[in-house]
Structure 1
């Protein structure tokens, strides 16, 4: 190492600056290596990566101080030199590293004219990230000309775009200028507030396109970008806030266990399979009579760590179901197999009885035989004071679960909820098809109301109730406020940038057989008990029949199926479900029951 005498007044030799520079350079490189900066993609250099460069350089400089001070006493000018060296290293390395990103974002752009006039509602973190993504994305034909946010000071500039105020100023801006696109970059905005904004915007400019940023639970860990925004859906504007779920308790009830889902091809059943797959069960068996839906479901999990085993079988086939439960020995059964279409089941009551009653009895008895830990049945609000065969048969299925509970080790639980948005055969897909075909949109009655919940919400609450249940309960989900079907139809028309009764007409067709204007979640004679979950209640359901009595009634019911006497079938259903009401065509007519007793119509 070279030394030089700096002053005739001292005999202390000082190290030559080249040696100090070498120590600093080596220490800084070691600090950067420690933070693996060699692994960072230059094209996507971030503030977090820049902070790692700063920490790495500072730690390297600290190590250099320690090394040099162990060999000689540093002079003041050497401390100053080292400090300047570290600052220069941070600036040089940081600028060099971020140069590629600056090139792509600032220089490597085209002069392509962007035609769509867009504004962003939400000027904090998410809005800033979306704006930045739009500015560097030449493929998006969008020019953001203003931002709005009640939480941010008006007049500020964000990436060259001015913040012009809050919601009221945004509505005035839309009224004054031809805005093509509104992006709502507020993922946690309450749904009622979002609906109010959409209604106000559509009232001013009906043809305007609106996109939203979903809640963070549906986003990845990547920075928010254009790919995350989507069109407004009916789920966004129903006014119901997301449910609170205790994923820990649900995971404990599923992880490592063998889970069987019946009706796995349906809307609820398939979502049950997806949610269970996320919780790493030991086995996951998807059972349905529809092989096409099972094929599509199985395809979803190709390449996944969780293997879904498909089983094509009917829950009414006792021999086949026995073989399946014997083979897989499930710990948990989610019973979602059922016929649910109300008017169709009014025409074919025998099919509703075969599947909803007979299928439930078959799977429940086999659950007892193979000592399944929990049997969770998906029920419906139509089982309350039923006015249709479908609701009555689901109420019988609840009775089966209550009657079987306590007769074996299996804990039987029923979970009752209302309509789910977007399920097959439900009102929303029908409305969507009618709008696409130019209308009219058909509504049965202007006063008709229904409870609605999204499919994932309903399924997670079913799983939550199943994890809470100790056996014999009928749980009732808090469905929020009922929604007018007419209002939903109008909202859907507006979401397609059309005007109700102008671009798309609405026609009233009248209530169909077995339908109610308003669905109930509890019987008049029932009450509820609160549970540990604020959105799940336990219905006070008195068990009216023992297992033996219920078995006898169900056997009589099945003996009547071949009699071609639907009225007798309905009367026998009423003997099991006293709250079931229907319009009878029999007047004082005697209907002989299969055990020789007489029922008066």
Structure 2
């Protein structure tokens, strides 16, 4: 309204000046000019303020609007600001826009840009900001984490919303409905991986693709990603019928058919029938037992599934002339201190030994933890925070490598498309993350203070755990590949295919006879770098002995 009055007054003033300077050409009467100014103000301003008058005087709302600022003043920020101004339902009042890329003082829909990140931090210190909207999808994740940490240090209870990066490549107008709470994936500190989609599509398009362990976190994402690459057939196999049911339902009405099979990979006869029916060209082998402490209690199950199941599928892949067999491995296979890691290391050896014995190309892909997978630390921490704590951390020194499920799966598919057989690929996991820092970050993301609102409890290492995970053995090295985030491990073979097969059969035979007491010793004979701590009771006291060849 103020801008309208100023515009009309200035325009009328110019008219009066011209009338005085050029009386012969412009003969305005002062009274007519004043009437014109008044009428213009009432008529033009009336339309503009009628809704405001109705809302504030006729039907006033006493609900206080939330003091909001926006970080990011380019296209995305402008669209969100416009949406806030058009829709009172959001109940937000924007007091400023901040962006280092835009000159201060710019007026955008009546809201000024007040500077960059430094000015924004000062604004948060001085004013009662309730909500920060980060409309800057392309901001590096490391910078985003530092920004959020700084804001939370000033105002722990302040809400922070982000605009996910995928909106930057859509044509849909961006609005408040698109912003969401900050998740741990947003601040992991890893920038999005670069993927050659064309090479992945070329390796899958028109092929029959079988995914084992399709109900799990990695397996289900493999199914989703493969579905977008136009396979001829997409087969999802898992022993968990409920997860297969949900996965199959995801694709209803999408035009992509997912053929589900319920079965155990250790059932050789069933797997033979499946392979004969579907005739896969590519197998992504994600089925495995992965929970470390649980497998310490049930080593026989880890051996049967991770070793026996892999051996069965690898043999059938050769029999049915599968083109590629891509196995999902883990960083816990390196210098393993637990049964799960040792069995996955044997699975890598099985794939390397099978390669070259038939036309199937066997490839293993090794990476660390994934965020959000079932049984992983992030969902456990979130549940503990929602229940009021405490958040349990096994050791304050513990570190782990992390990446998100989609980027891990895309890199697995990329490695599979690159592999020529016999490789153990290692994914670049970035820098290891301290679990204690992760717990504190998650508490802050829930607008709480670590140690004050939510306590952190140190519980001690669980069976089979170690403080640091590695991606390479001491004797291994890596060579670069054409992809900057995928490396090839230089693995030394300890035994030939026949000897390995005999040892695996011998170990499985012990399990069938019900003898599980010495499985760790036999497992260590296959994996010399495997070490474990044996817990015995002597005279009522617990004695821990390190069963490691490296330690003598």
Which TM bucket (shorter chain)? 0.7 to 0.9
SS, match of residue 90 in structure 2: coil
2:476 pairs with 1:523: no
Larger radius of gyration: 1
Measured in 2, the distance between the counterparts of 1:165 and 1:218 equals: 23
Give the C-alpha shift of residue 331 in structure 1: 0.5
User: 1:488/1:373 Cα in 2 relative to 1: closer, same or farther (>3 Å)?
Assistant: same
How far 1:178 moved relative to its partner? 1.2
SS at match of 1:575: helix
Report whether the alignment pairs 1:466 with 2:416: yes
Match of 2:326 among 359, 373, 376: 376
| Structure 1 position 184 matched with structure 2 position 137 | no
Structure-2 change in CA distance of 1:266 and 1:108 (3 Å): farther
Task: State whether structure 2 residue 298 is matched by structure 1 residue 348.
Answer: yes
| 8 Å CA contact retained: 1:114, 1:143 | no
Superposed counterparts of 1:409-558, under 5 Å: 409-558=359-508
Q: CA deviation at 1:567?
A: 4.3
User: Which residue of 1 is the match for residue 235 of structure 2?
Assistant: 285
**Given that residues 110 and 138 in structure 1 are in contact (C-alpha distance below 8 angstroms), is that contact kept between their aligned partners in structure 2?**
no
* Number of corresponding residues: 485
2:147 pairs, out of 197, 211, 214, with 197
In the alignment, is the contact (CA less than 8 A) between 1:261 and 1:269 conserved in 2?
yes
Stretch moving more, 318-327 or 565-574: 565-574
The answer to whether the 8 Å contact 1:109/1:136 transfers is: no
Partner of 2:6: none
Change (3 A) 1:302 1:126: same
Q: TM-score, with normalisation over the residues of structure 2?
A: 0.85
C-alpha displacement of 1:551:
1.2
> 1:253 aligned to 2:203?
yes
Cross-structure match for 2:109? 159
Structure 1 gap ranges (5+): 1-101, 588-600
Deviation at 1:138, TM superposition (A): 2.8
Equivalent residue runs for 1:130-279 within 5 Å: 130-216=80-166, 220-279=170-229
Point out 4+ residue stretches in structure 1 off by more than 6 angstroms.
Answer: 106-109
Residue 321 in 1 paired to residue 321 in 2? Answer: no
Change (3 A) 1:181 1:568: same
After superposition, what is the alpha-carbon deviation per residue over 1:548-572, rounded to whole angstroms, capped at 9, x for unaligned? Answer: 1111101110121145554410111
Structure 2: distance between partners of 1:383 and 1:217: 38
The 5 A counterparts of 1:112-131 are 115-131=65-81
Contact persistence 1:264–1:337 (CA under 8 A): yes
Q: Tell me the C-alpha RMSD between the 2 structures.
A: 1.9
Deviation at 1:216, TM superposition (A): 3.3
1:362 equivalent to 2:312? Answer: yes
| Cα pair 1:419 1:450 within 8 Å, conserved | yes
8 A Cα contact 2:167 2:174, kept in partner: no
My pick for the range that moved more, 264-273 or 128-137, is 128-137
Report the Cα distance in structure 2 between the residues aligned to 1:544 and 1:116, rounded to whole angstroms: 65
The separation in 1 between residues aligned to 2:53 and 2:249, in whole angstroms, is 41
Q: CA deviation at 1:584?
A: 3.6
Structure 2: 5+ residue runs without aligned partners?
Answer: 1-46, 538-551
Aligned partners of 1:119 and 1:144 also within 8 Å = yes
SS in 2 for 1:241: coil
**1:190 positional shift:** 0.6
- CA drift at 1:582: 1.1
